[in-house]
């Protein structure tokens, strides 16, 4: 396979990337960073098995064939990449690419050792590292630099991706480990990232570990600090996959990255920013032009959909809310995508419904949930996620209605307050 010849470049120490930023292997030496708060200890049950998160080189064996997850740092899908994924889905998969709740793409129904499929994805630049492909989980505020936000973080995800792939230490991170670069609006910071930089001004922000702020970091130092923090986590994680699973990870990472003396000077943190997720529909850009946010039915992009997107825009941003941003998208693009079945208005029920793979793709599923979910895309009035079992894969992080298949062909409906989809309240009911 062509990809197996790829390898990461050794990177013994973090290098400075901006003025006033100097980070050694243990901590920051310049007084650029200040610790703002450190959380109380958080303890999660220890992991008893290795992470099996799928990638392109290590697909998951699903009931409908191999499932390959393509990481898209920052959600960026170029025109060439969209065409490559379309061809791969059409000729080697189930005919579609599926959006994930982390802003990635999945191909299903592949043959496990299909060298042609792999070659197409590698040639399109979608597998830049054979050693780090599963750890390239980087969210960035999709509308940054387009509309709103405090800082313009475009390009930071790509630089972080390159730095991740250049760190041999970080090849050992779990495939569940998540980075986020939030431009201040709080959208991707709310996706439960392990490490997050969140803008407080146009040029500075705060580093958060498992949601806990640990220090101020300038925009110019984001990449170096995130890599240093991830390397610190790798050194303390043991069998843990996520920062929330390690006892006092925020405090220990703060001590490693910023130094113990700064760690002791914790102060209070106020999270006053409003969390604003891009809504489906036309968006007025800061430059007065138009951008467009659209949603495919059940997060499924048929090969023809991908080719249409590639024709309409040189770049599309995949969001963790199973929507797509066209940075420049006016009335013509809106009409073309509406004609292809995309939701193009915030009120569309299509934009409110998502579903897991269900039967026949997932052997654990108790029902063909996607068929059921398609009926809801006509009527849904609130955010709804339909799943085939209690694992509730792909559940939104915010409030939503969970529709869970039960044995015997019924579904149980529960109103979920938020979090990871397992904390719920309110009434629940069954439908045949
Ligand atoms: S929620 Fe259950 S049925 Fe759906 S994909 Fe996950 S494991 Fe499979």
62 CB less than 6 Å from ligand 1? no
Q: Measuring CA to CA, how many Å separate 345 from each of 77, 188, 282, 373?
A: 22, 22, 8, 19
Compute the half-sphere exposure of residue 381: CA atoms within 13 Å on the CB side of its CA: 0
388 CB less than 6 Å from ligand 1? yes
Paired tokens of 409: 């062909």
Distance 336 CA to ligand 1 centre (A): 33
Distance 54 CA to ligand 1 centre (A): 15
Question: 299, 306, 296: which is closest to 89 by C-alpha?
Answer: 306
Distance 358 CA to ligand 1 centre (A): 6
387 CB less than 6 Å from ligand 1? yes
Distance 356 CA to ligand 1 centre (A): 6
Vertex 32: Cα angle to 28 and 38 (nearest 5): 70
Question: The CATH number of 351-431 is which of 3.30.210.10, 3.30.413.10, 3.40.640.10, 3.40.47.10?
Answer: 3.30.413.10
Whose tokens are 């999270």? That residue is: 271
Distance 385 CA to ligand 1 centre (A): 12
CB distance 342 to 295 below 8 Å:
yes
Cα-trace Rg, the chain: 21
362 CB less than 6 Å from ligand 1? yes
Distance 420 CA to ligand 1 centre (A): 15
403 CB less than 6 Å from ligand 1? no
**How do the domains of the chain map onto residue ranges?**
2-49+133-263, 351-431
Burial environment of residue 231 by CB neighbours within 10 A (0 to 12, 13 to 18, 19 or more) = buried
Whose tokens are 């800082």? That residue is: 151
Maximum Cα–Cα distance for the chain, whole Å? 63
How large is the angle between the packed helices 331-339 and 303-312, nearest 10 degrees? 170
Residues listed for the chain: 432
Q: Whose CA is nearest to atom 6 of ligand 1?
A: 393
Per-residue pLDDT of the chain in tens (432 residues, 90 and over written 9): 333 222 222 232 333 333 333 333 333 333 233 334 444 444 556 666 667 899 999 999 999 999 999 999 999 999 999 999 999 999 999 999 999 999 999 999 999 878 899 999 999 999 999 999 999 999 999 999 999 999 999 999 999 999 999 999 999 999 999 999 999 999 999 999 999 999 999 999 999 999 999 999 999 999 999 999 999 999 999 889 999 999 999 999 999 999 864 543 334 444 555 567 889 999 999 999 999 999 999 999 999 999 999 999 999 999 999 999 999 999 999 999 999 999 999 888 888 899 999 999 899 999 999 999 998 887 777 889 999 999 999 898 888 999 999 998 899 999 998 655 444 443 445 554
Among the atoms of ligand 1, which is closest to the Cα of residue 366?
A: 3
Question: 367, 374, 365, 382: which is closest to 300 by C-alpha?
Answer: 374
391 CB less than 6 Å from ligand 1? yes
- As assigned by CATH, the class of the 2-49+133-263 domain is alpha beta
Q: Of 388, 395, 403, 421, which is best to mutate to test ligand 1, by the most ligand atoms within 8 angstroms of its C-beta?
A: 388
Question: 188, 254, 183: which is closest to 36 by C-alpha?
Answer: 254
């Amino acid at each position: 396979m062509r990809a197996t010849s790829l390898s990461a470049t050794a990177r013994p120490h973090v290098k400075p990337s901006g003025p006033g930023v100097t980070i050694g292997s243990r901590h920051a030496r310049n007084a650029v960073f200040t610790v703002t708060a450190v959380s109380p200890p958080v303890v999660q049950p220890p992991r008893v098995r290795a992470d099996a998160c799928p990638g392109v080189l290590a697909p998951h064996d699903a009931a409908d064939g191999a499932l390959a997850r393509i990481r898209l740092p920052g959600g960026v899908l170029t025109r060439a990449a969209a065409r490559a994924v379309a061809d791969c889905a059409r000729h080697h998969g189930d005919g579609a690419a599926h959006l994930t709740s982390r802003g990635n793409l999945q191909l299903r129904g592949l043959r496990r050792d299909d060298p042609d499929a792999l070659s197409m994805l590698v040639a399109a630049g979608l597998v830049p590292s054979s050693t780090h492909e599963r750890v390239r989980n980087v969210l960035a505020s999709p509308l940054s630099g387009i509309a709103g936000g405090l800082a313009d973080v475009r390009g930071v995800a790509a630089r972080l991706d390159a730095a991740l792939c250049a760190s041999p230490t970080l090849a050992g991170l779990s495939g569940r480990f998540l980075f986020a670069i939030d431009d201040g609006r709080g959208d991707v910071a709310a996706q439960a990232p392990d490490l997050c930089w969140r803008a407080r001004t146009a040029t500075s922000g705060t580093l958060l570990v498992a949601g806990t702020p640990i220090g101020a970091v300038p925009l110019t130092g984001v990449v170096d600090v995130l890599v240093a923090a991830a390397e610190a986590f790798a050194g303390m994680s043991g069998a843990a996959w996520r920062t929330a699973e390690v006892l006092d990870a925020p405090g220990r990472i703060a001590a490693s990255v910023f130094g113990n003396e700064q760690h002791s000077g914790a102060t209070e943190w106020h999270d006053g920013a409003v969390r604003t997720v891009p809504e489906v529909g036309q968006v007025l850009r800061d430059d007065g032009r138009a951008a467009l946010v659209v949603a495919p039915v059940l997060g499924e992009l048929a090969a023809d959909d991908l080719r249409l997107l590639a024709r309409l825009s040189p770049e599309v941003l995949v969001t963790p809310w199973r929507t797509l941003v066209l940075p420049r998208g006016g009335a013509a693009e809106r009409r073309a995508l509406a004609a292809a079945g995309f939701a193009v208005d915030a009120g569309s029920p299509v934009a409110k419904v998502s579903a897991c793979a269900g039967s026949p793709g997932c052997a654990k599923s108790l029902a063909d949930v996607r068929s059921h979910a398609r009926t809801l895309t006509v009527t849904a009035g609130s955010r709804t996620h339909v799943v085939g079992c209690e694992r509730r894969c792909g559940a939104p992080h915010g409030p939503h209605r969970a529709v869970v298949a039960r044995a015997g062909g019924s579904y149980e409906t529960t109103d979920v307050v938020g979090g990871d989809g397992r904390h719920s309240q309110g009434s629940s009911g069954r439908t045949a």
